[in-house]
């Protein structure tokens, strides 16, 4: 990320919370990085999140690091918008913090905070349950920030004026795909996304094995579909770490495993865990296999007619299999 900033002559980096984890006591790696003369031209503006709410200015020696422990309105240059930074404060909502400062906010201002946006539809945060320093849609409508940029949710999302850039580096297998950060143009407030050249790219897929006569061909086709959807360059393939969760039934577990390995040649599994076949059972009853084949065709037709996503088709098939193949 810093290399991209240097390359594009961007002088300000804002971190919207949770740069560090709870319990860290030594911040010298980050401190040293900011002191590196390559990055001396970048100012690091860091808002504490719920994972690092205790950090303070005194933990750092680099002159270009600024920690915001209190809400503060700042500006970068004379013409740009104001930036209202709200650090994470346990038990408070962003709305009540904005209310206190509303008279000092300029016409154009960008809210940067850390917490949950309550738009009505909520994507669950895999990392922590509960609501953290919420911002409601009425707060945005009432106080009228031009843009809202939030940390906390690791998945990148955009809802109206609210943007979660997401974690710029996948923390584990749950944070899949290319990771990115955003560049905000202070002239027109446009946002551009940049991919982070990270060490790993995680992918996690579910696969349903059906004991049909062409089961291995089906598995190969399904995996080829995943690989296509990841759309990776050669360099990215070597960084990819894959998790496959396979459910269902097969006539031959060894052959199933070989089909999966063959389809994922050149890829590595996450934590070397291999193709997860522990939830796959063996099934060899030819008569019932032919029933499975017919049911599969019908369910797939239903899926196409109703435009069901593949996951839903798989779920129906899985439940049908449970009935057909029950001992
Ligand atoms: Mn957080």
Containing structural domain, residue 288: 201-324
Question: Rounded to the nearest whole angstrom, what is the distance from the C-alpha of residue 21 to the centroid of ligand 1?
Answer: 9
Asked whether residue 211 falls in the same domain as residue 145, the answer is no
pLDDT tops 60 at residue 9: yes
Query: Structurally, how many domains does the chain consist of?
Result: 2
Question: Rounded to the nearest whole angstrom, what is the distance from the C-alpha of residue 18 to the centroid of ligand 1?
Answer: 6
Residue 130 region by backbone torsions, left for phi larger than 0, else alpha for psi between -120 and 50, else beta: left
Mind listing the pLDDT tens digit for each residue in 26-44?
899 999 999 999 999 999 9
Question: Rounded to the nearest whole angstrom, what is the distance from the C-alpha of residue 125 to the centroid of ligand 1?
Answer: 9
Asked whether residue 126 falls in the same domain as residue 168, the answer is yes
Gap between the Cα atoms of 29 and 59, Å rounded: 12
Question: Rounded to the nearest whole angstrom, what is the distance from the C-alpha of residue 187 to the centroid of ligand 1?
Answer: 29
Asked whether residue 37 falls in the same domain as residue 124, the answer is yes
- pLDDT at residue 96 in the model: 95
Mind listing the pLDDT tens digit for each residue in 87-131?
999 999 999 999 999 999 999 999 999 999 998 655 555 556 678
Asked whether residue 186 falls in the same domain as residue 254, the answer is no
Domain boundary among 162, 179, 195: 195
Residues 47-68: what's their mean pLDDT?
A: 96
Question: Rounded to the nearest whole angstrom, what is the distance from the C-alpha of residue 270 to the centroid of ligand 1?
Answer: 25
Mind listing the pLDDT tens digit for each residue in 275-322?
889 999 998 888 988 899 999 999 999 999 999 998 899 999 999 988
Residues with CB under 5 A from ligand 1 (ion): 18, 49-50, 152
Distances (CA, A) of 151 to 58, 87, 99: 23, 10, 20
pLDDT tops 70 at residue 234: yes
- Asked if 10 contacts 42 with a C-beta cutoff of 8 angstroms, the reply is yes
Asked whether residue 183 falls in the same domain as residue 83, the answer is yes
Q: Is the dihedral of CA 230, 14, 127, 271 positive or negative?
A: positive
Mind listing the pLDDT tens digit for each residue in 153-188?
999 999 999 999 999 998 889 999 999 999 999 999
Q: Is the dihedral of CA 307, 308, 309, 313 positive or negative?
A: negative
Cross-strand pairs, 268: 241
Gap between the Cα atoms of 117 and 134, Å rounded: 6
Query: Mean pLDDT for the chain?
Result: 93
Cβ atoms within 10 Å of 49's Cβ, excluding its own: 25
- pLDDT at residue 299 in the model: 95
Domain boundary among 169, 195, 221: 195
Question: Rounded to the nearest whole angstrom, what is the distance from the C-alpha of residue 19 to the centroid of ligand 1?
Answer: 9
Question: Rounded to the nearest whole angstrom, what is the distance from the C-alpha of residue 262 to the centroid of ligand 1?
Answer: 40
Asked whether residue 77 falls in the same domain as residue 167, the answer is yes
Question: Rounded to the nearest whole angstrom, what is the distance from the C-alpha of residue 115 to the centroid of ligand 1?
Answer: 6
- pLDDT at residue 97 in the model: 96
Question: Rounded to the nearest whole angstrom, what is the distance from the C-alpha of residue 321 to the centroid of ligand 1?
Answer: 41
Residues 247-268: what's their mean pLDDT?
A: 95
- pLDDT at residue 154 in the model: 93
pLDDT tier at 144, thresholds 50, 70, 90: very high
The lowest-confidence range among 77-91, 118-132, 259-273 is 118-132
Question: Rounded to the nearest whole angstrom, what is the distance from the C-alpha of residue 196 to the centroid of ligand 1?
Answer: 20
Question: Rounded to the nearest whole angstrom, what is the distance from the C-alpha of residue 163 to the centroid of ligand 1?
Answer: 15
- pLDDT at residue 79 in the model: 84
Question: Rounded to the nearest whole angstrom, what is the distance from the C-alpha of residue 322 to the centroid of ligand 1?
Answer: 40
Rounded to 5 degrees, φ, ψ at 265 are: -55, 135
Asked whether residue 188 falls in the same domain as residue 207, the answer is no
- pLDDT at residue 239 in the model: 96
CATH number at residue 156: 3.60.21.10
Distances (CA, A) of 16 to 24, 29, 215, 241, 295: 18, 19, 48, 27, 50
Bigger pLDDT: 240 vs 128: 240
pLDDT tops 60 at residue 191: yes
Residues 234-254: what's their mean pLDDT?
A: 94
Asked whether residue 48 falls in the same domain as residue 63, the answer is yes
Asked whether residue 225 falls in the same domain as residue 296, the answer is yes
Asked whether residue 182 falls in the same domain as residue 213, the answer is no
Asked whether residue 73 falls in the same domain as residue 109, the answer is yes
- pLDDT at residue 214 in the model: 92
Asked whether residue 22 falls in the same domain as residue 165, the answer is yes
pLDDT tier at 23, thresholds 50, 70, 90: confident
């Amino acid at each position: 990320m810093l290399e991209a900033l240097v390359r594009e002559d961007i002088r300000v980096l804002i971190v919207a919370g949770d740069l560090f984890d709870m319990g860290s006591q030594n911040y010298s790696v980050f401190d040293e990085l900011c002191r590196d003369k390559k990055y001396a031209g970048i100012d690091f503006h860091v808002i504490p999140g719920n994972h690092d709410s205790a950090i303070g200015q005194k933990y750092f020696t680099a002159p270009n690091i600024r920690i915001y422990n209190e809400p503060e309105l700042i500006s970068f240059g004379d013409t740009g918008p104001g930036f209202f930074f709200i650090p994470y404060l346990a038990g408070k909502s962003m709305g009540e913090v904005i209310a206190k400062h509303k008279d000092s906010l300029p016409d154009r201002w960008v809210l940067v905070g850390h917490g949950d946006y309550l738009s009505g539809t909520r994507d669950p945060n895999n990392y922590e349950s509960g609501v953290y320093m919420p911002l409601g849609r009425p707060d945005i409508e009432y106080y009228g920030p031009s843009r809202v940029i939030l940390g906390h949710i690791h998945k990148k999302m955009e809802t109206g004026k609210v943007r979660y850039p997401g974690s710029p580096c996948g923390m584990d297998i749950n944070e899949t795909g290319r990771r990115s950060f955003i560049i905000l143009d202070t002239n027109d407030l446009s946002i551009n996304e940049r991919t982070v050249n990270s060490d790993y790219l995680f992918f996690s897929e579910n696969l349903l094995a059906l004991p049909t006569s062409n089961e291995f061909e089906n598995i190969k086709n399904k995996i080829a579909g995943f690989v296509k959807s990841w759309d990776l360059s050669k360099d990215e393939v070597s960084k990819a770490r894959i998790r496959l969760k396979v459910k269902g039934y097969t006539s031959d577990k060894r052959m199933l495993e070989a089909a999966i390995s063959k389809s994922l040649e050149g890829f590595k599994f996450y934590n070397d865990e291999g193709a997860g076949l522990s939830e796959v059972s063996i099934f060899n009853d030819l008569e019932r296999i032919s029933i499975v084949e017919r049911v599969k065709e019908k369910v797939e037709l239903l899926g196409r007619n109703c435009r069901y996503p593949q996951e839903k088709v798989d779920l129906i098939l899985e439940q049908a299999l449970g009935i057909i193949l029950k001992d």
